[in-house]
Amino acid sequence: MTKMKFCGLKRPADIEAVNELQLDYIGFVFAKKSKRYVTPETARELKALLRPEIQAVGVFVNEEAAVIADLLNTGVIDIAQLHGSEGEAEIAALRALTQKPLIQAFQVKTEEDVRTAEKSTADLILLDSGAGTGTTFDWEILHNVKRPYFLAGGLDPENVADAIKRAHPYAVDVSSGIETDGIKDREKMAAFQRAVNVV
């Protein structure tokens, strides 16, 4: 069964919805330039409402390792997702500060980008069309990926089943595809989950 991550949650109502749906992962965005940004304090409050079996991922863009590690080690998040220009040096710096899992995100345009992503020493990789662009990319270039990965970029209830059939990801990651007017939409969340579960 393909796992799911709903990213960019900001409100108690969002947590209530994912608790009902019993998701695998949710994401808090800590990049201040994002319209989905939450403060560490808000994330802590939302995490307290989250079912304990649902893992909270913190999304960071070129953040200091000490800041990320503190949020991991104090239980505000369970996993860190590096979504900027971070490389192996940043991963090593985090490994020295925390034992928690790391996801490294890659913008994928070519098969060479995929090969680069596969070499990452992060626990998991995320393959995306871009940083929150809400657009898909050519999933055919993923057919040789040899390690588990999150598929992101432009997924929604209408196309996610096709994406899973064609790309066979470990997990699918969605944000704008389950929103209406920039707010998480409970009906779209449920529709997305139904589409994933029928594959």
Distance CA 127, CA 130 (A): 9
CATH code where residue 16 lies: 3.20.20.70
How many structural domains compose the chain?
1
Distance CA 133, CA 154 (A): 7
The residue with tokens 């588990």 is: 148
Active site residues per annotation: 7, 128
Distance CA 50, CA 120 (A): 30
Distance CA 109, CA 128 (A): 9
**pLDDT 10s digit of each residue in the chain, 199 long?**
999 999 999 999 999 999 999 999 999 999 999 999 999 999 999 999 999 999 999 999 999 999 999 999 999 999 999 999 999 999 999 999 999 999 999 999 899 999 999 999 999 999 998 755 667 888 999 988 999 999 999 999 999 999 999 999 999 999 999 999 999 999 999 999 999 999 8
Domain extent, residue 152, equals 3-197
